[in-house]
């Protein structure tokens, strides 16, 4: 009986020590890095995409946000979401930030807070190589235009009188629609069109018309979140220490325009 009691005591003691250690680990876990949950829609090369047969997210935005996270002492975790799900996901707290070549617009500014701009983009029209009828936005009147849901390209297409706007979840589907001749044109961000034209679209498609609307891209966070300030601080530091330029040159082959 005595022996049993001693054994029980020992066991309890062990359990207490183990629990104590566990508790300690939790509170002392400050050296375990905090996670920054970042949402994106990854069919937007060269900003965010997945290489063939790879689950990893790569591109300019992906490298930039990882560098920003590192600067903030945080580990970046990327979540693959629909483009039109990004803003709702910020507001529900499912993600902390969204980086997705997202243009800073007045309408979006009502729903979320943006960081400082990290890239200046614009929209363009893409048609198949054999199409000589479409040279400008005006020529799209009454035509079929393929776009990604919830984008500024979709808004632009909707402004064309009589146009039939075909909306898709991914840009892979958007370009497929064009090359299957189920759409006359695509309206999309120019750097994404240019990247596509030297890869999958090579020999098939071309850009037409002037670049429309200067669109600055920003990182979105929940409305009024103080995270925007922290991101801005990190971004400014990366611009100062040359890291931003390095990432920019890697993806665009040239130094960013000074502005
Ligand atoms: N810049 C455009 C917009 O903000 C298109 C962005 C699409 N981005 C993406 N990752 N699919 O509406």
Q: Which of 249, 252, 244, 257 is nearest to 70 (CA)?
A: 244
- The atom of ligand 1 lying closest to the CA of 215 is 1
Cis peptide bond upstream of 46, omega within 30: yes
Residues 68 and 188 in one domain: no
Asked whether residue 41 is assigned to any structural domain, the reply reads: yes
Ligand 1 binding pocket includes 115 (Cβ within 6 Å): no
Tell me the CA–centroid distance for residue 65 and ligand 1, in Å.
Answer: 16
> 182: closest CA among 140, 144, 155, 136?
144
Domain assignment of residue 16, yes or no: no
Provide the number of structural domains found in the chain: 2
Q: What is the CATH number of the domain that holds 101?
A: 3.40.190.10
Q: Judge if 136 and 182 occupy the same domain.
A: yes
Q: Which residues pair with 231 in a beta bridge?
A: none
Q: How confident is the model at residue 257 (pLDDT cuts 50, 70, 90)?
A: confident
pTM of the model: 0.88
For atom 5 of ligand 1, the residue with the nearest CA is 151
CA contacts within 13 A on the Cβ side of 173: 9
- Tokens standing for 148? 């990604």
Whether 50 and 65 share a structural domain: yes
For residues 114 and 124, membership in a common domain is answered with no
Q: What is the pLDDT of residues 109-168, one digit of tens each?
A: 999 999 999 999 999 999 999 999 999 999 999 999 999 999 999 999 999 999 999 999
Q: Is 114 in the pocket of ligand 1 (CB under 6 A)?
A: no
**Residue 4, domain member (yes or no):** no
User: Domain range holding 145?
Assistant: 120-215
Residue 13 lies inside a defined structural domain of this protein: no
Question: 101: CA distance to ligand 1 center in Å?
Answer: 5
Q: Same structural domain for residues 124 and 208?
A: yes
Residues 124 and 195 in one domain: yes
Domain annotation covers residue 28: no
Same domain, yes or no, for 129 and 205?
yes
Asked whether residue 75 is domain-assigned, the answer is yes
Place 33 in a pLDDT band, splitting at 50, 70 and 90.
Answer: confident
Q: Are residues 162 and 152 in the same domain?
A: yes
Nearest atom (ligand 1) to Cα of 43: 11
Reported confidence tier of residue 30, pLDDT bands at 50, 70, 90: low
The span from the first CA to the last CA of the chain, in angstroms, equals 83
Same domain, 206 and 228: no
**Does 124 sit in the ligand 1 pocket, CB within 6 Å?**
no
Whether residue 94 sits in one domain with residue 142:
no
For residues 133 and 207, state if they share a domain. yes
In a domain, 76, yes or no: yes
On whether residue 24 sits in a domain, the answer given is no
Residues 6+ apart with CB under 8 A from 234: 67, 68, 69, 71, 72
Over residues 35-88, the pLDDT tens digits come to 999 999 999 999 999 999 999 999 999 999 999 999 999 999 999 999 999 999
CA of 102 to the centre of ligand 1 (A): 5
Instruction: Write the burial class of residue 123 (CB in 10 Å: 0-12 exposed, 13-18 middle, 19+ buried).
Output: buried
- Rounded distance between C-alpha atoms, residue 199 and residue 140, angstroms: 25
Domain identity same for 105 and 130: no
Cβ-proximal residues to 38 (8 Å cutoff; 6+ apart), any chain: 65, 69, 76, 77, 78, 79, 95, 96, 97, 98, 99
Number of Cβ within 10 Å of residue 213's Cβ equals 12
């Amino acid at each position: 009986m005595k022996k049993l009691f001693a054994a029980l005591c020992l066991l309890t003691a062990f359990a207490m020590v183990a629990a104590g250690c566990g508790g300690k680990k939790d509170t002392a876990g400050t050296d375990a890095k905090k996670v920054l949950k970042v949402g994106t829609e990854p069919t937007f090369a060269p900003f965010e995409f997945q290489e063939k047969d790879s689950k990893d997210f790569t591109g300019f935005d992906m490298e930039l946000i990882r560098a920003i996270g590192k600067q903030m002492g945080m580990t970046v975790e990327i979540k693959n979401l629909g483009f039109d799900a990004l803003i709702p996901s910020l507001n529900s707290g499912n993600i902390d930030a969204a980086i997705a070549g997202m243009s800073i617009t007045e309408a979006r500014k009502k729903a979320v807070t943006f960081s400082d701009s990290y890239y200046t983009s614009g929209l363009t029209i893409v048609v198949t190589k054999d199409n000589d009828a479409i040279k400008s936005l005006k020529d799209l009147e009454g035509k079929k235009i393929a776009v990604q849901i919830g984008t500024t390209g979709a808004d632009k297409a909707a402004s064309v009188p009589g146009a039939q706007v075909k909306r898709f979840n991914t840009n892979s589907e958007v370009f497929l629609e064009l090359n299957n001749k189920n759409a006359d044109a695509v309206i999309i961000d120019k750097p994404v069109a240019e990247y596509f034209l030297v890869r999958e679209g090579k020999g098939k498609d071309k850009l037409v018309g002037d670049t429309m609307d200067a669109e600055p891209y920003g990182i979105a966070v929940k409305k009024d979140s103080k995270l925007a300030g922290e991101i801005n601080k990190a971004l400014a530091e990366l611009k100062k220490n040359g890291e931003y330029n390095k990432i920019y040159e890697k993806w665009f082959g040239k130094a960013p325009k000074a502005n």
